[in-house]
Chains A and B, each alone.
Chain A
Amino acid sequence: MPRHTFELNGETVTVDAPDDANLLWVLRDVLGVTGPKYGCGVGVCKACTSHLDGAAFQPCTMTVAECAGRSVTTIEGLADGDRLHPVQQAWIDEDVAQCGYCQPGQIMAAVALLAENPSPTDDDIDQIDNVCRCGTYVRIRKAIHRAAAAM
């Protein structure tokens, strides 16, 4: 069985899995990291959005072998201990979540956007394609602007 080592939320992890093992299920089923949610399995809904070497990606479209030697950050790795990331804090301040299922992915997408573009316009924010079936978009938008101001 191939062995794959990568960094997950700041720690080095090793899993024994076939090269083509889907990263989302490795995270959830093997490593017990359940913040990234299954929503479609084909990279469309983006509920599982996390970071690969700091850029937003969808673990459901990635194999474990492709992550070897790289750095994966999920929602669990975003806060600094008890100190929330400014985007997480903005999400609370704007009371964004309804059912909450897509929000780990939304937050990770927003963090990646702000890393590239510290003061995004509404048009820039429109490029985020993550689905929120509760329709919290207006608050997501406000929270991103709030986080941008705070950062």
Chain B
Amino acid sequence: MVTNETAGRHVAGGPRITRRRLLAYAAATPTLSVVVKLADAVVGPGGAPPAGAQVAGIVDFTDALTLAAAPTQHLLVVEVTAENRVVARLPRAEVGQGITTAVAQIVADEIGARLEDTDVVLEDARPELLWNQLTGGSNTVHALYTPLRVAAAGARARLITAAARRWGVSASGLVTADTTVTGPGGRSATFGELSAAAASVTVPAVPAVPKDPSQHTLIGQPTTRIDARDIVTGKARYTQDLPIPDALTCVVARPPTLGGTVRSVDDRAARAVPGVVDVVRIPTGVAVVAETFDQALAGRDALVVDWNPGPAAHLSDADVRSRLRGAVLPYLPAPGMRVVEHAFDFAFVPHAPMEVLNCVADVRSDRAELWLSAKSPIVTAQTVALTVGLPVDRVTVHVVRGGGSFGRRLFFDPAPEAALVSKAVGRPVRLLWTRNDDMRHGRLRPASHHRARATLLLGNPIGYEHRMASVTLDGSHGLGELLSAVGLEALGVVGQAMFHLTQHDLYRLGIQTRSLREVDLPFPTGSWRSVFSGQVRTVDEVMVDQIARSMGQDPVAFRRAKLRSARLRAVLDKVATEGQWGRPMEPGTAQGVGLHEEYKSVVAYLVELDARDPSRPRVTGAVAAVDVGRAINPRGLEAQLQGALVDALSVILQAGVHIDGGAIREGSYADFRYARMRDTPPQVEVHVMPPTGEPGGAGELGVPAASAAVANAWARATGTVPTSFPIVDVAP
């Protein structure tokens, strides 16, 4: 316990940003800067934004997201300040996937700035952006690559025009580089010196057209994160690190079962804990507000709460599994055919980002201001507005860098909680979910059951069917509305739409069908890095190995013969060569491969697994090859594929959660067995294929293929087809 007395010397942890400075920065006035809008850059001021693709052009989920973002791309802003900073205002969330670095590279390259003179600021919620402020589907770079370059090219053209006028020379001879415009006779001026004049240029004297890729100097270069130094010095600020004056701390007593409710509370002892300021009933539990988190936690411990059971209290793992299995119809016999058939179960998996869910809220009678890592900040603002009874234009949501997400921060559960508590106590509130809260109150990758069957005639596959049953995926963070906005409501609920837009045939296996049956069970679910693909591709790729095996063929040779696309064949060949596919290995150890195509990108993994002690399998090496069309930052791309492998080996081999009577058993990383250093390979090679076109997505791309490769390596090392994931199911 601790009190609010703070005698003793204050030790500053880096520069203390006051709230006023934060706000001033977020609302930096652009009077001396160039603000280029996409519409201006393309068709001149007042023109219409470029027409987006047609609904009929949607072939996958990436197209749906990109099309939904298209109508508001002209609202993107690239600024050049008098202080010689190039500032891109990014309506997305940075949660470790590296988009701020990629965006800085794109903008700096196009405008001709040094990377270190370029800032990427996460935009506050801007409701006018509609569907263009949702961070998901690994879509950021794919959707923003062209709009950002067009905006930056417009800024460059205006800077050049301003310099030409100042020097009285032809604009066509001027160039930008190193945040400077240079011209004949050694003339030069920094962007900062030109920004005011450039702001008044309405029609540039040179074309505002993005560079040809052959002229790129930053795009495509392996680049270290722009915030690397801030991170390693502890200066990088996450939501709870922001100094918000007068803020109280808050934790919430939550029910023992998912979705349980308060029957009665005795808060007398809690209120008597030194430092506790208030106890507030909210829909999700009982909030304890105190001067410090130490006191809030002690106050929470002192609460006596009687809880009503939640809606899943009658359900445990066996019930969930049996409901899912019951939702998948068995296959009819196929007389005269040979079949390869397997059934698979996947456990629930929590997102468990390192930074637990949390939010800072300051709600007053006429306005609300929130700080959190939000991947759908517009819906967050709308929800908070409804929750506290304010018009949405009185709610400000600041998007703060996030400590991981993996899909979790599409939902913003702590925001309405913090808003309600702040409204009740009349002061800013820093609300924190403890690790146990975060682990035990969802959300979860839905548990699923799969039954897959290949039918072979005369030794050749003539059909492949994959039936999946999943606990219903919750997409109520705006995804359903987004899909409706692009004309896809016909696909029904979010899960069905996601499933059919993301799952495609990679191989020629005859007539193929994939179906999803969603089972409505009252568990809090959410998209988990790669959504359905993590399970679907694992099943499909395990099946491909087993089909090949039944035909007496090598898994890689069989894939080469059956793959539909040359891009996929190229990445498979790359990992087979670099990973020395087929090299002799010890009994109990083996290689495995897996492929995936999504987000306009393709990837292959080859992993080596040591399962000599089947209770402690370890991936001992991995090689990946990736073709994302055009890698903006190969170094960041490599990082995403390395991390995706760790996700994959965790959820395939050892990490999931158990359900006991509507409650999640695991409470921290002690029993949710996400991989540690000792579980991971010392070497992970990533080969980035040469550029072939426009950039696709990468953040989620690796998980399905790596999961499949690990599962296949297990099957080959142990001679047993894995049918339940995680394979090593340790009951804590």
Interface residue ranges, A against B (CB under 8 Å): 1, 3, 5, 8-9, 11-18, 20-22, 25-26, 28-42, 44-45, 47, 64, 74-76, 78-79, 84, 88, 91-93, 95, 97-104, 107, 122, 125-141
Contacts and interface: CB of A to CB of B under 8 A. Distances in A.
Interface string B218-244: 000000110111111110111011010
A26 B295 CA distance: 11
A85 B473 CA distance: 46
Contacts of A75: 232-234
Contacts of A133: 352-354, 404, 406, 674
Given A92-B228, A100-B227, A45 B668 contact: yes
A97 B228 contact: yes
Contacts of A134: 96, 354, 404, 643, 646
Contacts of A40: 435, 668-669
A103 B291 CA distance: 28
B24 interface: no
Interface hub of A25, A32, A100, A104 (most chain B Cβ within 10 A): A100
Nearest to B682: A122
B332 to A, nearest CB: 42
A137 B355 contact: no
A135 B649 CA distance: 10
Contact of B10 (A20, A32, A34): A32
B234 A35 contact: yes
Given A32-B16, A42-B435, A135 B402 contact: no
Given A47-B354, A134-B404, A25 B294 contact: yes
B355 A84 contact: no
B675 A1 contact: no
Contacts of A16: 3, 5-8
A35 B240 CA distance: 11
Contact of B292 (A12, A25, A130): A25
A95 B638 CA distance: 11
A42 B438 CA distance: 14
Contact of B228 (A3, A9, A28, A91): A91
Interface in B232-277: 232-234, 236-238, 240-241, 243, 249, 274
B371 interface: no
A30 B354 contact: no
A21 to B, nearest CB: 4
A33 B12 CA distance: 7
B237 A99 contact: no
B730 to A, nearest CB: 16
Contacts of B402: 99
B714 interface: no
Contacts of B639: 95, 98, 136, 139
A141 B678 CA distance: 11
**B interface majority secondary structure:** loop
Pick from A22, A34, A129 the residue with the most CB of B within 10 Å: A34
Contacts of B274: 18
B98 interface: yes
B683 interface: yes
B95 A99 contact: yes
B356 interface: yes
12 contacts: A1-B3, A15-B6, A34-B234, A75-B234, A79-B233, A100-B236, A101-B403, A131-B354, A136-B639, A138-B680, A138-B683, A139-B639
Nearest to A140: B677
B329 to A, nearest CB: 37
Interface of B: 1-3, 5-14, 16, 95-98, 224-225, 227-234, 236-238, 240-241, 243, 249, 274, 291-294, 297, 352-356, 401-406, 432, 434-435, 635-636, 639-640, 642-647, 650, 668-670, 674-678, 680-684
Contact of A37 (B233, B403, B646): B403
A20 B675 CA distance: 33
A27 B645 CA distance: 35
Given A21-B294, A34-B13, A135-B644, A101 B233 contact: no
A130 B677 CA distance: 8
Nearest to A26: B2
A13 B1 CA distance: 18
Given A16-B3, A39-B354, A45-B435, A138 B642 contact: yes
A98 B356 contact: no
A101 B404 contact: yes
A135 B5 contact: no
Contacts of B227: 97, 100
A126 B678 contact: yes
Contacts of A79: 233
Q: Which 9 A-B pairs have the closest CB atoms?
A: A135-B646, A35-B234, A99-B96, A101-B403, A14-B8, A21-B2, A75-B234, A100-B231, A98-B96
A82 to B, nearest CB: 10
B500 to A, nearest CB: 30
B8 A13 contact: yes
Contacts of B434: 41
Contacts of B675: 135, 137
Contacts of B228: 91-92, 95, 97
A84 to B, nearest CB: 7
Nearest to A32: B13
Given A13-B9, A44-B669, A37 B294 contact: no
A47 B435 CA distance: 12
A76 B681 CA distance: 31
Nearest to A89: B232
A139 to B, nearest CB: 7
A17 B3 contact: yes
Nearest to B231: A100
Contacts of B682: 122, 138, 141
A95 B223 CA distance: 8
Contacts of B354: 37, 39, 45, 47, 99, 101-102, 131-134
A130 to B, nearest CB: 8
B626 to A, nearest CB: 16
Contacts of B640: 98
